[in-house]
Amino acid sequence: MSWRVGFRHCDPRFGFLWLTAAQPEARWHAAGEGPANYFADTPTGAWAEFLRHEGITDAADLAGVRRSLWAVELPDNGYATPALPATVLQGGAASYPACQQAARKLRAAGAERLEAPSAALLPGGASGTRATISGLTTAAPARDGQVWVLFGAVDVRGWLVVDAGAPPAAVLSVVRHL
C-alpha cells in the first residue's frame, strides 16, 4: 500500500486522533457524526487551521500557544472530492452546513475519506521554502493547500514533530481568517 503524509495539530495532553463521535462539529462533520480526523498536506496548513479556529491574528498571541504537531501516514488513495463551489469549500463557519451535507452524501455513497482545498490557507499559502547551495532558504513556488478527512475508525501511524510548541509567526500572513 502506498501512503501520503498528513499533518495535524492537537492539544499535547491527548493523542493525535479522535476515536469517538464525541467531538465538536467542524467543516466536514456535524455533532455526533464523528470520528472525523482532519489532516493538512503541510505543517503550515495544520498550523493555519489552528490559528483560524482560535482567531489568532497577532504574533504576540503565539507566546501562549502550546500545541503538538504530528506527521501521520495516511492511505494514498480512495479520497472523494466534494462538488461544491470554492466560496463554500473555503468559506467561513456559515458554509459548514453545506459542507457537512456534501460529506454526508459522500459517506452514504461509501466514501471513507475526503479531499478538499484548505479553507484556512490563502491561495499559495502552502508553498513552503527551498534550500539553496549557499545554505540559505528561499520561498518555493506558490502552492495551494489541501485537507484530507478520514471518517470513522482509522488505523494510522503518527510521529510527534513538535511537542507543546507554537506555530511560526510567518504562518499568520497566509491564514484565511474567519
- Residue-wise pLDDT for 128-141, tens only, equals 889 888 877 888 99
How high is the pLDDT of residue 78? 94
Give tens-digit pLDDT for 6-48.
999 999 999 999 999 999 999 999 999 999 999 999 999 999 9
Using 50, 70 and 90 to split pLDDT, how confident is the model at 80?
very high
Residue 40, amino acid: A
In the chain, domain spans: 3-173
Give tens-digit pLDDT for 44-76.
999 999 999 999 999 999 999 999 999 999 999
Give tens-digit pLDDT for 143-167.
999 999 999 999 999 999 999 999 9
Which residues fall within 8 angstroms of residue 158, CB to CB, at 6 or more apart? 8, 16, 17, 70, 71, 72, 73
Look at the block and give the residue holding cell 499535547.
Answer: 12
Q: What is the SS3 string spanning 21-76? A: CCCCCECCECCCCCCEEEEECCHHHHHHHHHHHHCCCCHHHHHHCCEEEEEEEEEC
How high is the pLDDT of residue 91? 96
